[in-house]
Amino acid sequence: MSADVNVVIVGGGLAGVACAKRLAGKPGMRVELIDRAGFQQFQPLLYQVATAELTSKDVRFDLDRLFRHHPSVNVRKDDVTAIDPGAMTVTLASGDTLTADHLVLAAGAQPNFFETPGAREHAFPLYSVEDALRVRGRVLTVFQDVAANPALVDEGALNFVIVGGGPTGVETSGALAELVHDVMPGVHHDVPCAEAQIILVDGGPTLLSAFSHESGDYAARQLKHRGVLLHLGTRVQEVTPESVTLADGTVIKTRLVVWGGGEKAADIAAASGLTAGHGGRIQVEPDLSVAGHPHVYAIGDVANIPYGDEAALPQLGSVAQQSGRWVADNIVAQSRGEAPQPFHYRDKGIMAMIGTKAAVAEIGPHRHEIHGRFAFAAWLGVHLELLSDMGSKIHSYVTWAEEFYLRPNHRSAKLLDPTRIDTPAINWDEDS
Ligand SMILES: Cc1cc2nc3c(=O)[nH]c(=O)nc-3n(C[C@H](O)[C@H](O)[C@H](O)COP(=O)(O)OP(=O)(O)OC[C@H]3O[C@@H](n4cnc5c(N)ncnc54)[C@H](O)[C@@H]3O)c2cc1C
Determine the 3-state secondary structure of 262 from DSSP.
Answer: coil
> For the chain, which residues make up each domain, given as ranges?
5-111+264-335, 119-261+350-420
296: CB partners within 8 A, 6+ apart: 85, 88, 102, 103, 105, 274, 289, 290
Regions in the chain scoring below 50 on pLDDT? 1, 432
- Structure confidence at residue 407 (pLDDT): 65
Q: How far is the CA of 14 from the centre of ligand 1 (A)?
A: 7
Per the document, the length of the chain is 432
Q: How far apart are CA 388 and CA 16, in angstroms?
A: 14
Specify the ligand 1 atom closest to the Cα of 81. 41
Q: How far is the CA of 13 from the centre of ligand 1 (A)?
A: 6
Terminal Cα-to-Cα distance of the chain (whole angstroms): 64
Nearest CA among 219, 217, 163, 173 for reference residue 196: 173
Q: Please, are residues 302 and 266 in contact by the beta-carbon 8 Å criterion?
A: yes
Q: Whose C-alpha lies nearest to ligand 1, atom 51?
A: 43
Q: Ligand 1 in contact with 175 (CB < 6 A)?
A: no
CA 427 to mean position of chain CA atoms? 29
Q: How far is the CA of 109 from the centre of ligand 1 (A)?
A: 6
φ, ψ of residue 90 in degrees (nearest 5): -130, 130
- Structure confidence at residue 408 (pLDDT): 60
Nearest CA among 227, 208, 175, 183 for reference residue 356: 175
φ, ψ of residue 29 in degrees (nearest 5): -90, 125
Domain with residues 119-261+350-420, CATH architecture: 3-Layer(bba) Sandwich (3.50)
- Structure confidence at residue 392 (pLDDT): 53
φ, ψ of residue 402 in degrees (nearest 5): -65, -40
Q: Ligand 1 in contact with 14 (CB < 6 A)?
A: yes
- The CB-side HSE value for 310 (13 A sphere, CA atoms) comes to 14
Q: Kindly tell me the number of DSSP H helices and DSSP E strands found in the chain.
A: 12, 26
Q: Ligand 1 in contact with 317 (CB < 6 A)?
A: yes
Q: How far apart are CA 56 and CA 61, in angstroms?
A: 10
Q: Which of 60, 301, 363 to mutate to test the pocket of ligand 1 (most atoms within 8 A of CB)?
A: 301
Q: How far apart are CA 176 and CA 197, in angstroms?
A: 10
Determine the 3-state secondary structure of 3 from DSSP.
Answer: coil
Tell me if domain 5-111+264-335 and domain 119-261+350-420 are identical in fold: yes
Q: Ligand 1 in contact with 324 (CB < 6 A)?
A: no
Q: Ligand 1 in contact with 16 (CB < 6 A)?
A: yes
Q: Strand order of the sheet with strand 89-92?
A: 80-84, 89-92, 97-99
Q: Please, are residues 342 and 352 in contact by the beta-carbon 8 Å criterion?
A: no
Active-site annotation holds for 121:
no
Q: With respect to CATH, is domain 5-111+264-335 assigned 3.50.50.60?
A: yes
Q: Ligand 1 in contact with 266 (CB < 6 A)?
A: yes
Q: Whose C-alpha lies nearest to ligand 1, atom 30?
A: 108
Q: In 256-392, which ranges are E strands?
A: 256-259, 263-265, 282-283, 289-290, 293-298, 303-304, 350-355, 358-363, 368-371
- Structure confidence at residue 432 (pLDDT): 42
Q: How far is the CA of 290 from the centre of ligand 1 (A)?
A: 20
Q: Ligand 1 in contact with 13 (CB < 6 A)?
A: yes
